[in-house]
Structure 1
Amino acid sequence: MIDMLAGALLQAVAMPQCDVELVVLGVAQDGGVPQVNVQDDPAWADDGLRRRVVSLGVIDRQAGTRYLFEATPDFRTQLHDLNAQADLSGAPDGIFLTHAHIGHYTGLMLLGFESMSAEAAPVYSLPMMANFLRSNGPWDQLVRYENIDLQVMMAEQRVALTPNLGVTAFEVPHRREYAETAGFKIDGPNLSVIFIPDIDRWAEWDTRIEDIVAENEIVYVDATFFDDHELPGRDMSAIPHPRVAETMDLFQDQPAEVRQRIRFIHYNHTNPIRFEDSAETQDVLARGFRIAREGERVCL
């Protein structure tokens, strides 16, 4: 069976290239789609319905560099696709981590000596996340063996990666069992992109999401759940994450030009926007918002 995800990325490669480019490498919540032990998910039988765990890639063709946002359980295929589009090989020139939940950092294991045996791959994160990796096995082995080189970012301080590309981390409220949670601003020569795959609630953040959307051209936001009816038998009020429906309501009175900046990402296997033909997907698009899909490309 033809892998529809690979087909989408191959189609993206055939599109005109730009000097600094972002590509969506994954869109699903930490467990991916299909998720473990969900036996009746149609994605087991249909590769075209599979969704990889949330990740972005950024390529600077002038500098000959590429960067990965999140080291997910799908790290192997995501790095392969990023390298194919950048026409490069080896470890990324930087890996940016938002936080210490399984879908966002566990792919680092493949940089170890049992697999890739990378040489000092730069890994960028806020301080608590870096300390978690440095102080806990098996991740500390990656540090000791110099498979990774921890680059500690300070919130709100821009890191210049190339003359055309910079990244700024900022902290967002989200469960911090082991580390804080970051969002990232990625700025290229022409526009800036925000990446917030996980946050508890917009109201708990000391920054207004309305201001973030107004100040940046593209904003990838947490879309773990569509609404409060998604998990029968569960009290969803006890499960944080802004619902897609809630975020749309928050921005519904904004101009169309503002609404179209929002791209929903990090959707759970239960979220019907994973299906491109679902009524919920059509509702999101009809209301002027967008849904991130694998293979999507943006010239920065």
Structure 2
Amino acid sequence: MRLNAEFQAHLASGATTLCRCWLLLRADGVSFGFTDHDCDLGFDGIIFKADSGLSAAALQQATGLSVDNTEAVGALSDAGVREADIEAGRFDDATVRCWLVNWADTGQRALQFNGYLGELTRSGGSFRAELRGLTDRLNQPLGRVYQKPCAAVLGDTACGVDLTTAGYGVEIAAEQVEDSRMFRFAAIAGFETGWFRRGRLDVTHGAATGLSGVIKNDFAADGRRVIELWAPLRADVSAGDGLQLIAGCDKRLETCRLKFDNIANFQGFPDIPGDDWTVSYPASASVTSGGSRR
């Protein structure tokens, strides 16, 4: 935590006017400011609200690559963090910053914490959020996996497929929706059955705008086209809401070549030896031509 000279002098004075301010930035760009001071504060174009009921546990920090962590607790309110937004997953992996601030002069402040939301729970009209430091990302495994299927995610930089290209997706209005998981349509013109299996469904309009689901199955039943998700969307989807369906990929070499014409960027190892080869053992033989022995 770096302190400017004025802030350092204020802390050394023994009579301080300190509070904490938190900035919560969701992946969709929506931001929230909170403070444990009894009045609203503002800096960097952000208003930090005092009526949120937010408080934080002691911040644990260490040098080196140790993971910083803390916990924030606050009240749910319509003007701030809403229970429906938490349930919908809109706060998942949101960026969090915390400052130690001189509330008498907000120009005197120091960034104490920079990280993201971990586990977020709610109960009794309040929420409890685990805050994880940036070094927590280093706990995630990195590197390529030696396997036959492609390791890239369809449309990412390793894959290189432009999913905005015509033929890979379609915008369509929801028709029949069951449990925000089963979507039935009269027809999806121009796309054969199974085209969207393992793909993605994005909600572009309605109460669930911004939410996405992974498509488990794409099939025809009772004269209708059915899109089934692996898990229900965490907000209600109604008939008429805007949806976008994105093509799926089963990670096979044949699919990469025939469906996406992207064989040059295939990120798997299709010629990896099978189990029979890996468990075989060397044997001596006088005949080495590969023919049968008699």
More strand by share: 2
TM range (shorter): under 0.3
Higher CA-based Rg: 2
When normalised by structure 2's length, the TM-score is 0.20
More helix by share: 1
When normalised by structure 1's length, the TM-score is 0.19
Higher RCO, 1 vs 2 (CA within 8 Å, ≥6 residues apart): 1
